Amino acid sequence: MPTNPSEYIWPGVIAAQAMYTAAKLRIPDLLASGPKTAVELASECGAHAPTLERLLRSLATLEMFAATPDGRFSNTPLTEALRADHPQSQRDFTMFLTAPFLWRPLGELYESVRTGEPAFERIFGERFFEYLASHAEDAALFNAVMTQGTQWSSQALPAAYDFSRFERLVDVGGGEGGLLRGILEATPRLHGVLFDLPSVVAGAASILKGEIAERCQIVGGDFFESVPEGADAYLMKGIIHDWPDDDAAKILRNARRAIRPGGTLLLCESTVDSSSYPAGLMELLMLVLGGRERSEAEFRALLAATGFSLTRVIPTEMHSLIECHPV
């Protein structure tokens, strides 16, 4: 942990935008074939060469790119990981919080704390998921980061929880299906339903393919209207924290209407009681976007108000699995 407050800010604020700019210009990809001058790079990516050189020289002080003695630039291990074709590519993650649709609201955290209103809506004039519905490039980045971010959970959740007790699991707001695929792979007799907005599940067939596709249905819809009915298990990972209490309650009530008697609802969320550095900062991202992180007591109250009882909280390395039953 830093010993001086400014270590969080300098160089973090500037480095974040510098890395975003280099990733967006695809400089790490352009350097995959070997060192290049700023003039060569600028002509390939459509940038202003002398200014690109200033960017690369600044990033080189962070060991992001290296200047060679003959005036060219090369990748370093840090920027190799920003290549789109790197097996553990960090490109999407690097461009996520730094992209204007997230960076701008974070820059207005002060206004959110002062007024209690999400900065996102004030800046963009609509709610976060409404905005994504009409901004394809940002939505693609968001969905890709969700799919990559859930890779870890798709192994950790089946290890932490026995899904074989269920016949049919609906992953509500399951994105492009990465988590559901992991659970179905680990649970050979389980059937699954991926449910998300139509524009999001449109990207799911390439993930839920092969043998998994035979046990899986893909359904597009709006969880504020309804969720697929009659399953014995409903999973919501990172859904409730996207919304304030009144919207979260609507989603939970729709799940309560849909769930089979004796069924199980599983929320996969971080609880503020157990948040730590740096995951604890997620609360502030949710704040500017219009959602909130909750304590176990807050989840218990929200669930009780929507017809569920919280039966246990199973900690996993990254999130908690909150198991609930209809009452």
Ligand X SMILES: C[S@@+](CC[C@H](N)C(=O)[O-])C[C@H]1O[C@@H](n2cnc3c(N)ncnc32)[C@H](O)[C@@H]1O
Cβ-in-10-Å burial (0-12, 13-18, 19+) of 33 comes to exposed
Least Å distance, CB 25 to ligand X, is 28
Catalytic entry in 48, 241, 319, 325: 241
- Token output for 73: 């630039």
Distance separating alpha carbons of residues 60 and 74, to the nearest angstrom: 10
Binding of residue 93 to ligand X (CB under 6 A) = no
Can 241 be counted among the known catalytic residues? yes
DSSP letters for 222-264: -TTT----S-SEEEEES-GGGS-HHHHHHHHHHHHHHSPTT-E
Least Å distance, CB 255 to ligand X, is 12
Binding of residue 144 to ligand X (CB under 6 A) = no
- Token output for 317: 């390395």
Binding of residue 186 to ligand X (CB under 6 A) = no
Binding segment for ligand X among 51-59, 100-108, 193-201, 304-312 (CB under 6 A)? 193-201
Are 24 and 95 spatial neighbours (Cβ–Cβ below 8 Å)? yes
Binding of residue 237 to ligand X (CB under 6 A) = yes
Binding of residue 224 to ligand X (CB under 6 A) = yes
Work out which of 92, 196, 269, 293 binds ligand X, going by CB under 6 A: 196
Give the containing element (helix H, strand E) for 25: none
Least Å distance, CB 227 to ligand X, is 8
Binding of residue 29 to ligand X (CB under 6 A) = no
Backbone angles phi, psi at 70, to 5 degrees: -90, 15
Binding of residue 239 to ligand X (CB under 6 A) = yes
Binding of residue 158 to ligand X (CB under 6 A) = no
Distance separating alpha carbons of residues 72 and 31, to the nearest angstrom: 10
Binding of residue 175 to ligand X (CB under 6 A) = yes
**Contact residues for ligand X, defined by CB under 6 A:** 129, 146, 150, 173-175, 179, 196-197, 200, 222-224, 237-239, 242
Positions marked active-site: 241
